[in-house]
Amino acid sequence: GTSGMRCSRVVRHVVCLLTPCAQVTEQSALARVLQLTTQPLPTPWPQQLAWLHAGHCMLGEKRDKDRSGKKKQGASVKVSQAMSVGFDLAPYQTLMDQAVSHYQQELGNIRSGRANPGLLEPIEVAGRPLREFGTVTARGPHLLCVTVFDLAELTAVAKAIQDSPLKLQARVEGKEVQVPMARQSLEQTASFKKLVAQEAEKARTSVRAARRKAMEVARKADISEDEEKRLEKLVQQLTDKHITSVDQLRAAKDKDLDTH
């Protein structure tokens, strides 16, 4: 009777309480809560209610911390279980990222109508990169010059540039090879787009190779059939994402070539 009425009064006043009590230790708050449940509520009562509110908050915080700790513990167990499978997707994702990044760099070298030294970078002379034969510089907006290290290679360098998919004109002038960059023709545009497509296919091939390596490792790992299927789906999603990136880069470059 009397105890029930006292508890009801406490509950009603706690609902109305707005200002929590500061600088209250857990031990003193809990002790005060016990005292409030065994003694008549004094007048004035707000200070007592503050103690009760503080104790309630501390109990709630302690409960939340316990729950959080259990969740973190559960999460760490899942992570350790995933690591125990012996399969890490990160290296293969890095390979796919590198394939897309390399393709993007190659597209940057294909600049129609503008003298950019990077344009000649993919060209090979007798199976070796052009940079091993000389340095390429831009001399004005419409002229590239190749300063050859060995003068005996001048003709070979010029021929390699002319025979490349870029279909550029190259001529030997003194100790260098000059490559004029005129406004691109329809034929040159087609050549550039063909080169863009070739580089895109190389990028896709690299992405698929990374996928193949990932699945080979996954199949050898000590995992269940369901886990293997889950990993295969995850790897395929990653592959599709990178293939889409390559296709988008190619489409953007083709559009850029059509506008010059």
Q: What is the 3-state secondary structure (H, E, C) of 92-148?
A: HHHHHHHHHHHHHHHHHHCCCCCCCHHHHCCCEECCEEHHHCEEEEECCCCEEEEEE
More confident residue, 167 or 254: 254
Average pLDDT over the chain, rounded to an integer? 74
Are the CB atoms for 34 and 68 separated by under 8 Å?
Answer: no
More confident residue, 68 or 186: 186
CA distance 173 to 144: 12
pLDDT digits (tens, 9 = 90+) for 197-234: 999 999 999 999 999 999 988 888 777 888 888 889 99
pLDDT band per the 50, 70, 90 thresholds, residue 250: very high
Give me the amino acid identity at 91: P
Question: Which pLDDT does position 142 carry in this prediction?
Answer: 82
pLDDT band per the 50, 70, 90 thresholds, residue 112: low
Instruction: Report the SS3 class of residue 146.
Output: strand
| Interacting residues of 40 by C-beta distance below 8 A, sequence separation 6+ | 6
pLDDT at 100 over 90: yes
pLDDT at 179 over 80: yes
CA atoms within 13 A on the CB side of 191: 15
pLDDT at 193 over 80: yes
**Omega before 117 cis (within 30°)?**
no
CA distance 247 to 240: 10
Q: Give percent above pLDDT 90 in the chain.
A: 37
The mean pLDDT value for 241-260 works out to 90
Are the CB atoms for 179 and 168 separated by under 8 Å?
Answer: yes
Question: Which pLDDT does position 31 carry in this prediction?
Answer: 52
Are the CB atoms for 229 and 215 separated by under 8 Å?
Answer: no
Q: Compute the Cα dihedral for 182, 188, 189, 193 and give only its sign.
A: negative
**Omega before 165 cis (within 30°)?**
no
Question: Which pLDDT does position 260 carry in this prediction?
Answer: 62
pLDDT digits (tens, 9 = 90+) for 4-59: 444 444 444 444 443 444 444 445 544 554 555 455 544 444 444 444 444 445 54
CA distance 50 to 226: 55
Tell me the pTM: 0.47
The mean pLDDT value for 69-75 works out to 43
